[in-house]
Amino acid sequence: MKNTLLGSLYLSLAASIWGGMYVVVKVVVDIVPPLELVWLRYVIALLALLIIGAITKQSWRVAKRDWLLIVLIGLIGNTISIVTQEVGTMLSTAQMGAIITSTTPAFMVLFARIILKEKITAKKAISIVLATIGVCVIVGNAQIETSNQLGGVSLIIAALTWSLMSVLVKRVPGQYSQIVVTSYSILVAVAFLTPFTLRGLTKIDFQAIMQPSIWGGLLYLGVISTACGFLLWNRGLQKLNASSGGLFFFFQPIVGTFLGWLLLGEQIGLSFWMGTTLIFIGVLLVIREDKPQEETRSMLN
């Protein structure tokens, strides 16, 4: 049960951190274009992870047979998914981003079934349905305009690729520290993105970046949202089934809506609390289902 609770805590924290990301991106992307924004947040995150790795004296050695998996995680999740997410957020609305990316858990269940052969139990199915209904209740008033369709397509690609990456993380051998795996996957993303961002970086208004809201946003996106968020998410997935872990992604719209009320003065009503309750019920069902599985593993060990 300890692994289940720790995994649930890590995933909840990661999704909650990302809940505030859409508001920050909407502010920063006006100054830093999406592709360059992803590159900058990764460079900041990589520096933070290298410092953490040095302090904790990590072993950075990875077996040759495992490099392909780490490269795929970096390319699919850290590159394609995050770039399409930033583009989608820029072309649409923060609320639309919350709606579409909340389909991630459903995609994770499918990928976990195909790649990891995880069973889709009745409780998992009910949990996803309850949480999905909860998200729809929370953001049910969203107005999706035709002009936002390209952003919507981009966000769907982001959800698909993030789901695939999250399942691939489960294939990484447990002998490797998540600090090391996350650092290398981010390094892969930086290597892929650098050729496409060099010209754009020279055109950025660095005087505008010195505004507290912009450099503060970059630090949040790099250190908190990327370095800490990815670490927590990957570590949480190692302790739960991929199909169960994906359900915690639903905390994103809860936190995003709450921060919109707290920081931006947006109104929330009964629908927010009803949706939140449904999401929590879905998450609790997953925790209760993973409990006997954890106890069985402990007995076998």
Q: What is the reported pTM? A: 0.75
pLDDT digits (tens, 9 = 90+) for 180-222: 999 999 999 999 999 989 888 888 888 888 888 899 999 999 9
Who wins on pLDDT, 234 or 123?
Answer: 234
pLDDT digits (tens, 9 = 90+) for 136-186: 676 554 444 555 567 777 877 888 898 899 889 888 888 888 899 999 999
Residue 73's domain comprises 1-298
Q: How confident is the model at residue 94 (pLDDT cuts 50, 70, 90)?
A: low
How many domains is the chain built from? Answer: 1
Both tokens of 7, joined, read: 């995994």
Query: Please, what is the angle between helix 2-19 and helix 229-239, to 10°?
Result: 150
Say if residue 16's pLDDT is above 70: yes
Who wins on pLDDT, 24 or 282?
Answer: 24
Say if residue 295's pLDDT is above 60: no
Residue 102 is predicted with a pLDDT of 66
Say if residue 104's pLDDT is above 60: yes
Which contacts qualify for 191-197: CB closer than 8 Å, 24 or more apart? 192/74, 192/75, 192/79, 193/35, 193/38, 193/39, 193/42, 193/79, 193/83, 194/39, 196/35, 197/35, 197/36, 197/39
Q: How confident is the model at residue 66 (pLDDT cuts 50, 70, 90)?
A: very high
